[in-house]
Amino acid sequence: MSEEARLRERICTLAASMFDRGLTAGSTGNISARTPDGGLLVSPTGTSFGRLDPARLAKFDASGRQVEGDRPTKEMPLHQAFYETRGRTAAVVHLHSCHSVALSTLPDAGVEDFLPPITPYAFMQLGRVQLLPYFRPGDPAIGDAVRGLAGKRSAVMLANHGPVVAGLDLEGACNAIEELEATARLAMLLRGQTPNMLSPAQVADLVRIHDVAWGAA
């Protein structure tokens, strides 16, 4: 099996795992990964994460021209913006996960620091998560908003829509977006309580040790 064939299979396997565990539903969510020759494999528009077909993934060559597969997700501008502004990006995942969406709708949701400092793992895998305003799904302006961050974020939360994570590899991107949703769930469970959060010094230590994305937007 070629390296690209293995990547196709892995995309579909990881997507199905997220679907089976309720991290995205119906035909929502999209995923892409960099191919060995510098192109992209992208989930088709209107498809379920639970039923992706490796042979039907949209394939783009290194120049950005589609050469195989079905029509790609309408969120291509979002994916392209991460690949363009974060040169080491090897995969981008976008979900419509419930708790992160719920947290994004609250009037006191953090903008430059969407996730509260509950556990170290979100900082280790995601760095600082930026909350972006609502955009119509598929609006090219989403890509412009990501470009406006100048590569300083590996993860964003689209208000009333869902999280997006760019990773150095496919598994890393999937693990990180799951951590984002898990932390959002904790934040929703703790609303109205007075939990002990990580201190600024503890967060700074994580930033230093793990070299996470922490630049100002």
d(CA 211, CA 193): 31
Query: Which neighbouring-strand residues pair with 33?
Result: 41, 91
Whether 121 sits among the annotated catalytic residues: the reply is yes
Q: Which two three-digit tokens encode residue 25?
A: 């539903």
Q: Which two three-digit tokens encode residue 149?
A: 């961050």
Residue 189 φ then ψ, to 5°: -65, -30
List 4, 9, 75, 83, catalytic entry? 75
Which residue matches tokens 């309408």? 74
List 3, 4, 121, 179, catalytic entry? 121
Residue 82 neighbours by CB under 8 Å, 6+ apart: 89, 92, 146, 164, 166
Q: Which two three-digit tokens encode residue 103?
A: 């947290």
Give the residue from 43, 45, 49 showing the smallest Cα distance to 19. 49
| Sheet architecture: strand order including 58-60 | 66-68, 58-60, 40-42, 30-34, 91-94, 162-167, 155-158, 130-132
Q: Please compute Rg for the chain using Cα positions.
A: 17
Whether 68 sits among the annotated catalytic residues: the reply is no
Q: Which residues are catalytic?
A: 75, 121
